[in-house]
Structure 1
Amino acid sequence: MKQTRSLFRRFLKVHFLFIFFPPIMLIFISAFFGVSDIHKNNVNTLNLFYVTVLLFGFIIVAFVILSWRFFLTLQKRLARLQEVMSFSAENNSFPKPISVQCDRMDEIDELGSSFNWMIQQLEDSRKREYEEELLRHRLIANLSHDLRTPLTILRGHVTRLNKEPMSFEGQDSLSEINHTITRVGDLMDDLLSYTLLTSGKHPFVPVSTDIGRLVRASVAAWYPVFEEQEIQLDVDLPADETFYWEADPQWMTRVLDNIFQNVIRHAAEGKYANIAVDVEKERIIVADRGPGMDNSSYERGAGIGLSTCHYMLKKMNLKADFTSNEDGTSVAIGRV
């Protein structure tokens, strides 16, 4: 935008006129009186002295008043711009555009115009990001739904082939195919859950939650699964002591379900799992004796589920610390 008027040039021009124009006029007046009357009458000389003092006093007072008025106006305009910026920072929202005088634009109006342009660009960017996020969520939801049909068809063919006579190698291949179909279905479920979660489809309702009781309920629900996989379950859940977190019980249950599921998927060969509640440090500890997270199988299957866990825990002001090596994996859930 082309600048039409300079605020500071106008300020300097006015002050230049008030500083230099009156003394120049005084010199001309003094020269005129000096030629005609100043040597004839001493009274005129005294009057000229008073006029000079008054003129310089007027210059000083006018200079102070103009400077005060200029900087007061400048301060008000900058304070208005700063107020708009501070309001948006305190309320975590985009600021409103400020009014700009386009007919007599100066440096402050240029700054306000650039500020308004920046707001418009940010709003357009946020709108595009929101539309892209909706498109991504819709695409993932549709893909997760559409892929279930071919997976169901494949599972039906595998079930039919299991009834046909075939070699042990064929049976192993069908078993691996069936296991792979199950894993793909689980991954799609995790992806769909994460998409719905990050898009706000699963409401977050934090309440004061008895963590000891919640962990006991989750362990009781998963105990038959651990028993079926022949995993020795070592449980340390104090019955008389507990602690409370401001958390969503459904979200916490889903976090524990995901961790227990990872133990079943990736650490079942260790045949051991330890689940404990540390009341003193207010932590939930789940440990196994699997191959560790460096194992490729663990890495391939844990990504989306763990991302969902981390997202939920972060919303509840909690965190999960993982410790993993070849002797097993341990996760401790506690406050941030």
Structure 2
Amino acid sequence: MKQEQGQKQEKNHKQEQKQPGTLFRRFLTRHFQFIFIPPLVLIFFFAIISFPGINEEDLNTLNLFYVALVLLGFISVAFVVISWVFFMRLRKRLANLQEVMSFSADHHSFPKPIAIQNDRMDEIDQLGRSFNWMIQQLEDSRKREHEEEVLRQRLIANLSHDLRTPLTVLRGHVTRLNKEAMSAEGQNSLAEINHTITRVGELMDDLFSYTLLTSGKHPFRPASTDIGRLVRSSVAAWYPLFEEKDFQVEVDLPSEETFYWEVDPAWMTRVLDNLFQNILRHAAEGKYASIVVNVEKQAIIIADRGPGMSNFSYERGAGIGLSIATYMLEQMKLKAEFTSDENGTKVAIGKA
């Protein structure tokens, strides 16, 4: 492999050595030729051609000024014309390169490689070759990233499916052991095992859902949604669970006023479910939950009196559920602002 790379580098080096002069060197060379060649041609012309009826002294005295004037005018015109042609061609090549780059920026896609002339290979062609190399590297990187993403999604899906079987077996053994006579400590251990199995199953579900979301396989159906009604329905579903845990629940949901967001109702309900579930898991010791719909600010405010997000909790896990909620909010052009300390956590959901 190293030998092949060395041969390629040597080949490229030889090609660079065979390259003609640079762009501006050619420009200076052509102008030098147009400045010095015409005078030499005219001197040679007048040296070998004689005009009948005009002696050498008259020619020198009468036509010397006109010859110099014509020569100077010819050189000036040639200089201007050559410069104009050179810079117009230069501008055209740079404009083509700029057009390809701007097309990529406007259409959010990789540009197509530009055509270059290997026999010329001046500074602009070298820039174009570097540009084409960059495009090729980006395309290869995107291809590898796509392949890795597909492999990761397939791996997560397979793991989520394969791990359900041993979890089901474990839960069956726990159920069987519950029917056996054992001490209070044994019952507590079984209850903890059963809780852990449930938690692992929920984490796998969250991971699988996140994979579906990020791969675009989870349908997103936005619609004009009554936020007050949606939050009221979600709170009604979770209220018995809060009561079971002896939570003090304060709800402020305006009955007459409301506002509408262009969101997916199922996604929005999933976000609220995740936030309520986090309160039950991580803020149970505070025994408090506040749900407010602020019509004036068009915001949903949920607060608790738990230990805060900075405190470590075994139940916290890797935060996949919160990642799912954040991703859904971003897709619905919403944002969640978290405020957390040792006295509790507050999250405000509003327009991004």
Q: TM-score range by the shorter chain?
A: over 0.9
TM-score by length of 1: 0.93
Q: 2:326 aligns with which of 292, 310, 330?
A: 310
Counterpart of 2:80 in structure 1 is 64
Counterpart of 1:223 in structure 2 is 239
SS of equivalent to 1:301: coil
- Letter paired with 2:126: E
Counterpart of 1:210 in structure 2 is 226
SS of equivalent to 1:166: coil
- Letter paired with 1:95: P
Q: 1:183 aligns with which of 199, 218, 222?
A: 199
Counterpart of 2:108 in structure 1 is 92
Query: How far did residue 225 of structure 1 move?
Result: 2.0
Query: How far did residue 236 of structure 1 move?
Result: 0.8
Q: Is the 8 A contact 2:281 2:315 kept in 1?
A: no
Q: C-alpha separation between the residues in 2 aligned to 1:28 and 1:45?
A: 19
- Aligned CA distance change for structure 1 residues 302 and 218 (closer, same or farther; 3 Å): farther
Counterpart of 1:150 in structure 2 is 166
SS of equivalent to 1:297: coil
1:274 aligned to 2:290? yes
SS of equivalent to 1:201: coil
1:196 aligned to 2:212? yes
Q: C-alpha separation between the residues in 2 aligned to 1:297 and 1:95?
A: 48
Q: C-alpha separation between the residues in 2 aligned to 1:141 and 1:231?
A: 37
Unaligned runs of 5+ in 1: none
Aligned residues: 334
SS of equivalent to 2:346: strand
Q: Is the 8 A contact 1:291 1:325 kept in 2?
A: yes
- Aligned CA distance change for structure 1 residues 109 and 258 (closer, same or farther; 3 Å): same
- Aligned CA distance change for structure 1 residues 233 and 94 (closer, same or farther; 3 Å): same
SS of equivalent to 1:76: helix
Q: C-alpha separation between the residues in 2 aligned to 1:40 and 1:239?
A: 114
Q: Deviations over 1:150-190 (max 9, x none)?
A: 11111111111111111111111111111111111111111
Q: C-alpha separation between the residues in 2 aligned to 1:185 and 1:298?
A: 15
- Aligned CA distance change for structure 1 residues 207 and 234 (closer, same or farther; 3 Å): same
- Letter paired with 2:187: Q
Q: Is the 8 A contact 2:167 2:197 kept in 1?
A: yes
Counterpart of 1:116 in structure 2 is 132
Counterpart of 2:263 in structure 1 is 247
Q: C-alpha separation between the residues in 2 aligned to 1:60 and 1:167?
A: 110
Counterpart of 2:176 in structure 1 is 160
Query: How far did residue 29 of structure 1 move?
Result: 6.5
Query: How far did residue 324 of structure 1 move?
Result: 2.0
Q: 2:299 aligns with which of 271, 283, 300?
A: 283
Counterpart of 1:141 in structure 2 is 157
Query: How far did residue 335 of structure 1 move?
Result: 1.6
Q: Deviations over 1:62-120 (max 9, x none)?
A: 11000000000000010001001001101111111111122333222221121111111
- Aligned CA distance change for structure 1 residues 298 and 235 (closer, same or farther; 3 Å): farther
- Aligned CA distance change for structure 1 residues 45 and 33 (closer, same or farther; 3 Å): farther
Counterpart of 1:263 in structure 2 is 279
Counterpart of 1:20 in structure 2 is 36
Counterpart of 2:27 in structure 1 is 11
Q: Deviations over 1:5-27 (max 9, x none)?
A: 23222211110011123334556
Q: Deviations over 1:278-334 (max 9, x none)?
A: 111111111122222233227733611111111111122211112222322221111
Q: C-alpha separation between the residues in 1 aligned to 2:41 and 2:61?
A: 17
SS of equivalent to 1:147: helix
Query: How far did residue 38 of structure 1 move?
Result: 9.3
Unaligned runs of 5+ in 2: 1-11
- Letter paired with 1:130: H
Q: Is the 8 A contact 2:250 2:290 kept in 1?
A: yes
Q: Is the 8 A contact 1:26 1:52 kept in 2?
A: no
Q: Deviations over 1:114-154 (max 9, x none)?
A: 11111111101001001101111111111111111111111
Deviates more, 1:55-64 or 1:308-317: 308-317
